[in-house]
Homo-oligomer: A and B are copies of this chain.
Amino acid sequence: MDQPPGSATRQRIVDAATVLFLTRGYGGTSTRDIAAAVGIKQPSLYAHFAVKSDLLLEVLLHALRPSLEESARLQADPTLSAVERLSALVSFDVRLLCSGAANRGLLAYLPEVRATGVAAQLASHQKVLHDAYRVLVAEVLAERRLDGDADRLTTSVFALVEGTVLRRVVDPELDPDATAAEVAAGALRLIGG
């Protein structure tokens, strides 16, 4: 095993912080807690991140990355219909939101994300994903020759998908595949038909 660029420790810090922020909250997680989970001493964190909120930003970007990559991949796929591409993106995102040890989707909605100013640094990345949803919704409307306000429908679809985050808070055992299928079907019903 050779060392990944930026060192593997940095990624282990991000992973540990993700779980801790979601279980104890950002303010309830001390830099000592994070260091202990990684197996290093607290001041060693500052060799990787200048301040605690920089770590929060990295955690957020890392949680958003898979969705951004999948949406880019799907938008460029000519073998799928619009309905198939939207369904695939919704399913992917919902499955992602239901999977893994921690409810990563909740991260972006923590109050500290806005209080620390990290939200502003994250906004452009979130906009890319939201735009991908809007494009797909508009394409579904066109493909099915439906009337409908694409912008409003997009926010509804997005709310339904992101609602998965809140469902998982209440029910941590939420089944990824069943929920993905259910939300994907719900999204199409929301658009009309």
Contacts and interface: CB of A to CB of B under 8 A. Distances in A.
Given A159-B160, A160-B159, A189-B190, A23 B111 contact: yes
Interface string A149-181: 000100110111011111101100000000000
Contacts of A190: 186, 189-190
Interface stretch (A5-13, A25-33, A60-68, A72-80): A25-33
A21 interface: yes
A22 interface: yes
B169 A166 contact: no
B28 A26 contact: yes
26 contacts: A21-B111, A22-B111, A23-B115, A24-B27, A24-B115, A25-B26, A25-B110, A25-B112, A26-B28, A28-B115, A109-B165, A109-B166, A109-B169, A110-B111, A114-B169, A155-B167, A156-B182, A156-B186, A158-B167, A159-B160, A159-B164, A159-B183, A166-B166, A186-B190, A189-B189, A189-B190
A67 B26 CA distance: 29
A106 interface: yes
Nearest to A115: B24
Interface residues of A, number: 38
B28 A111 contact: yes
A189 B157 CA distance: 12
Contacts of A156: 160, 182-183, 186
A192 B169 CA distance: 26
Given A23-B114, A155-B167, A162-B166, 10 more contacts: A23-B115, A24-B115, A25-B112, A26-B28, A106-B109, A109-B169, A156-B182, A156-B183, A159-B163, A166-B166
Nearest to A149: B182
Contact of A24 (B112, B126, B152): B112
